[in-house]
Structure 1
Amino acid sequence: MFKNLLSIKTIVAIGIGAAVFIILAKFVAIPSPVPNTSIQTAYAFLALMAVVFGPIAGALIGLIGHALNDAITYGSIWWSWVAVSMFVGFLIGLLAKFFSIESGIFNTSKVIRFNIVQIIAQGIGWFLIAPTLDILIYAEPANKVFTQGFVAGISNIITVGVIGTILLLAYAKTRKQDNSLQKEL
């Protein structure tokens, strides 16, 4: 069953994607005034990988990349936030069919659809799932974790909206458009 689920290309993309996620999360993050929360560029890359390689790859890149980054950076893994990275990668990959990037066309309506999808995925993840799991798993104070979730969510929505859109526009230009073939005489 799983044999046909992931191609070699997708498995390699997961490995490379997780490694790039770690590098971006560790070295290309901007500290925020809220403790243990930063503005992450890694989610723009996660969105690109989820759109290109699908929901399983997006979920695994988010899971592996975030978990390894936490382990390397903090010495322990904050599973509630790792779960959200997995959720965001999965949902963006799952809903990528609404803005089919492989067609080579990523026009204004597709940019809007992509951003609606990523706002919904990250809104559910950072505003609801992360704080709720922080309270249930770690017994953290509600006001603290909802503030952290809000700051993380807003900053990730903005970085994916800007950097993620730019990455997807660039990627779309590498795809052949459906109407690009011409008859030779």
Structure 2
Amino acid sequence: MKRLSIKTIVAIGIGAAVFFVLAKFVAIPTGIPNTTIQTSYAFLALMAVVFGPIAGALIGFIGHTLNDALSYGSVWWSWVIVSLFIGLFIGLLARRIDVGNGEFGKKQIISFNVIQAVIQAIGWGVLAPILDVIIYAEPANKVFAQGIFAGISNIITVGIIGTILLAAYAKTRTKSNSLTKE
């Protein structure tokens, strides 16, 4: 088994704390019960792309669990599992988006947004509602409406804020082959 680096472990701890703060204090209320527009998933996407799938999964899981426990007094496990799923699969599927080499152009932006949109559509539009029905015996029409709204709003916020965060991060990295020998 490959061990996590100290850098990744620190990223998980800090990332989970930032996810929690964003979910608790930088969420936009909606008219749909227990559903907000979240900025935390844009940050989760950044961390999953930069630090990989294990970090993404744990940041989503720990951050969402903390937010639910401290905000509502109990944890809504079906949605926590989806946060883990999103962090894991964005981290896995976005490996070919190598922002660490300073590249985040049109091709990478399109690839990132297709990947995140598909993952979130599956997570919020399918996985979360099905788990709500199975675990909590919630009415299907209610949880599918919540899940679809959450999915659409998260796809948009990650598409905008996540793309900006990744572009800014890429600009801080040295482009590969940018140095020439004189």
Equivalent of 1:127 in 125, 130, 141:
125
Matches within 5 A, 1:34-53: 34-53=32-51
* Match of residue 138 from structure 2: 140
Q: What is the identity percentage for the equivalent residue pairs of Structure 1 and Structure 2?
A: 70
CA distance in 1, matches of 2:148, 2:26: 20
Equivalent of 1:75 in 65, 73, 76:
73
* Match of residue 27 from structure 2: 29
Deviation per CA, 1:77-100: give whole Å up to 9, x if none.
000000000000000000122222
1:182, CA displacement in angstroms? 2.1
* Structure 2: runs of 5 or more not aligned: none
CA distance in 1, matches of 2:38, 2:4: 28
Q: Number of residues paired by the alignment?
A: 182
Matches within 5 A, 1:88-127: 88-127=86-125
Q: Which region of structure 1 is more displaced relative to structure 2, 84-93 or 171-180?
A: 171-180
* Match of residue 55 from structure 2: 57
CA distance in 2, matches of 1:7, 1:148: 37
1:166, CA displacement in angstroms? 0.1
Task: Decide whether the 8 Å contact of 2:48 with 2:87 is kept in 1.
Answer: yes
Equivalent of 1:19 in 10, 13, 17:
17
Task: Decide whether the 8 Å contact of 2:28 with 2:36 is kept in 1.
Answer: yes
Deviation per CA, 1:127-156: give whole Å up to 9, x if none.
000000000000000000000001100000
Deviation per CA, 1:60-110: give whole Å up to 9, x if none.
000000001000000000000000000000000001222221121100010
CA distance in 1, matches of 2:146, 2:96: 30
Aligned partner of 1:154: which letter? I
Task: Decide whether the 8 Å contact of 2:52 with 2:95 is kept in 1.
Answer: no
Give the secondary structure class of the aligned counterpart of 1:39.
strand
Give the secondary structure class of the aligned counterpart of 2:28.
strand
1:121, CA displacement in angstroms? 0.8
TM-score scaled by length of structure 2: 0.98
Provide the alpha-carbon RMSD of the alignment: 0.7
TM-score scaled by length of structure 1: 0.97
Give the secondary structure class of the aligned counterpart of 2:37.
strand
